[in-house]
Amino acid sequence: MHRRRSADREVRCRRHLPPARHRRVRAVFRGVAVRRPPGVVHSGPQQFVGVVGSRGAAGQMMRRINFVDVLYLVLVGAVAVSVWAFFQADWQHQQTSQVLQETYEIQWRAAQIRERLTGVMTELQIALATGKKLPRINRDVRHLAHNVRQTVSLEYIGRYLGERDIGRLTNALEVIEAAVVPATQEASKNYRKALAQLTELRSDMFRVSNAALEHMTAYSDAARTEERNRRLGFVLVMGLATIVLIAVGSAWQSRFVQWKEQHLRSFSSLFAHTTTSHISALRLFLDEVREGEAPDKSMIDQAQAAARDLERMNTRLRDIIISYEQPKGTLGSQVKSLSAMLSGIAGNVERNEILKLDVSNEALAARVPASQFHVILSELVRNAEAAMEGRELPQITIRGRIQKPLIGARRLIMSVEDNGIGMTENVRKNATMPFFSTRGGNHTGMGLASIVDLVRCMKGKLRLDSAAGRGTSVQFDFPLSRV
């Protein structure tokens, strides 16, 4: 009994269709296409997956990732070398300062020894010439021995003087203590012998001082050369790091472009798959319609729902395209040349003879957003017409030029000027305030406040210049890179 009632309902719905065919048509409207109609290419799941995750795209992505990883490793290595070079340079600077300081101390002590030697020799020569001993000769000899002893006892002297020079200093100390000091005593007065020995020691001290000076000069030259090499190495490493950063940026940009293209392909495939399902359902519905027979109401409702779904999808896709293509901060509109915009505005002026255009050819060829510019210029021209009521020789001038700054994009500079009644200082300050009108009554219009907001949305600036009895000039600019 139940089977008979089901069969009767199916026959009442579509008497000329077999039950299996009738169920297939309903299934299509529920979004499950069970057969492919003639002339329609069905985007099956296998085709969609092939577009999104092809082996070639995956391999290329892996190669891109590996290349970026290598660039990151090179960048990390360059940064590590730069840090190492910085600390190495600081350590080398400290070492150089210490070496120069120690070498300078050896040279200074050798100079002190030579100075003491010269003083003692002078005193001995005076004693030999006069036969009288100077009272400070013993003290100077002891100071000389003390200077030589301190120089020999330096712990780092072996790093800067050779064994021969150190032997000269040791021999000088032994000669002074063993021969010169006893020869200058009061009881001996053997000044000639002491003078001969000191003369030989002075020659040795000159050799020691010259050796220290040569070592300091050679070390300074080597330190300067090494510092220059480190600087060149640092510059090369930083240059390499810069190149790697540029390469990483390019790789990421390429990856982003590739990702965006892949995303677009995936979205297109998904959109095509979805629309094809609805189109297939509508085609099946049309194929089953017979002349002279009224279609089933439920199937008509489902076909209309499928059509509405297609319309909604197309509307959303159009909105996505508009929001994607329009620059951020501007309204979606058609782009036209400025000359076409001005010709349309000039045709709307009641007295065309009062309108004067002073626009350069380069500005006339500029592409601008039609809706925004039409609204702005039309409102400014209407305000200028209202401000010139009662004037004997009214005139409105629209000026336009291209500004080319040294840095940044070109800017279109537009201005609307009139010789109307102008504005007082108080009115000019309030002109850009919302709901402020100089015409009074029920007039609201768009207002300068709305124009200011619209210009700001286009990343431009608006300037108002007016004075009572002198007219008004409204100037705004627009970056041409935004179209």
Angle 434-438-440 from CA coordinates, rounded to 5°: 95
pLDDT value, residue 337: 87
pLDDT value, residue 187: 53
Tell me the domains of the chain and their CATH numbers.
98-245 (1.20.120), 335-482 (3.30.565.10)
Model pTM score = 0.36
pLDDT value, residue 3: 44
pLDDT value, residue 51: 35
pLDDT value, residue 434: 58
The Cα–Cα gap between 157 and 164 comes to 12
pLDDT value, residue 260: 67
Question: In a structure prediction context, what are the per-residue pLDDT tens digits for the chain, which is 483 residues long?
Answer: 444 444 444 444 444 445 445 454 444 444 434 344 444 444 333 333 333 334 444 444 444 456 667 767 777 777 777 777 777 777 777 777 777 777 778 778 877 888 888 888 888 788 777 777 777 777 888 888 888 888 888 888 777 777 887 888 888 888 887 777 777 765 556 777 777 778 778 777 777 777 777 777 777 777 777 777 777 777 777 777 788 778 777 877 887 787 667 656 555 654 665 577 668 777 777 777 777 777 777 777 777 877 876 776 676 566 555 544 555 444 445 678 888 888 877 765 556 678 889 999 999 999 888 777 877 887 788 788 888 877 788 889 999 999 988 887 889 999 999 988 888 888 887 777 655 556 554 444 446 777 787 787 778 888 999 888 888 999 999 888 755
Pairing of strands 411-418, 471-479: antiparallel
Is 472 exposed, middle or buried (CB count within 10 Å of its CB: 0-12, 13-18, 19+)?
buried
CB contact at 8 A, 368 and 335: yes
Buried b or exposed e, range 210-238, using 16+ CB within 10 angstroms: ebbbebbeeeeeebeeeeeebeeebeebe
pLDDT value, residue 358: 92
